Amino acid sequence: MNRFENKVALITGSSQGIGAACALRLAKDGCDIILNGHKFDERGEKLIAEIEGMGRKAAFLVADLSKAKEAIKLVTDAVDTFSRLDILVNNAGVEKNANFWEVTEEDYDLVMDTNLKGVFFGIQSFVNYCRKNKVEGAVINMSSVHEEIVFPHFAAYCASKGGLRMLTRNLATELAPFNIRINNVAPGAVSTPINQDLLEDKAQLKKVLQNIPLRRMGKVEDVAGVVAFLASDDAAYVTGSTYFVDGGLTYHYEEQ
């Protein structure tokens, strides 16, 4: 299916995991792709080769999304790369595990700057481009089930995702007159490199799966499929929403 013909997407934090899966899925559906990460390495090279193998264009732009100026520049550089930008997927994010009473200002700033501040100003840059060029854009933010449910020892992360939820809902109203849609995708427990320790700890994994009604970890492709839907015209009447991709975890958790 070629539902993104002549469209370009920027996916932040797309060297691996969910971001890479989103890039491949959008390319499969006909989109040209701008990849992003802290550095360009063999992972980026492999993704570009895969995307070009699908007959799509691909490029990789280096940027640190914890810095607002770099987030803004990333969007303008993405526009310059293929002369347009239609879809922004804010996937880059970090988390830090610590007791609340031991969280450092440095770690707090890194989490909030990457997960919320950089996203805020990246969206702003994209919106300015869309308004100037009369582009009907789509923004998809990679949130988390922890915009809704607690995650002890990850207070800054939860605060950043809770903030992202309200930012998305607020911007859905403010950007609607420009036909710019914005939604969140909130993954639960997904098999990615960041969860490798969990995947190798059978006892802990069993405990996690007991809270998931579908009784399995999510796949990155599960998340990418929802991102592709929200980026497409199939979701033309969807904005301001969060789509939980969690095997039923969120509301099952609340019932415990």
Dump pLDDT digits (tens) for 149-181: 999 999 999 999 999 999 999 999 999 999 999
The yes-or-no verdict on residue 189 having pLDDT over 70 is yes
Q: What is the pLDDT of residues 177-186, one digit of tens each?
A: 999 999 999 9
Give the whole-angstrom CA distance, residue 122 versus residue 116. 10
Tell which CATH classification among 3.40.50.280, 3.40.190.10, 3.30.70.1450, 3.40.50.720 matches the domain 8-193+219-248: 3.40.50.720
Residue 161: count of CB within 10 angstroms of its CB:
27
Give the whole-angstrom CA distance, residue 164 versus residue 169. 9
State the DSSP code for 48.
Answer: H
Is the CB of residue 19 less than 8 Å from the CB of residue 91? yes
State the DSSP code for 239.
Answer: -
pLDDT of 207 reads 84
The yes-or-no verdict on residue 193 having pLDDT over 90 is no
157 is an active site residue? yes
Confidence of residue 251 (pLDDT cuts 50, 70, 90): confident
Contacts of residue 6, defined as CB under 8 A and 6 or more positions apart, other chains included, come to: none
Active-site residue identified among 108, 157, 243, 253: 157
Q: Cα 134 vs. chain centroid, distance in angstroms?
A: 24
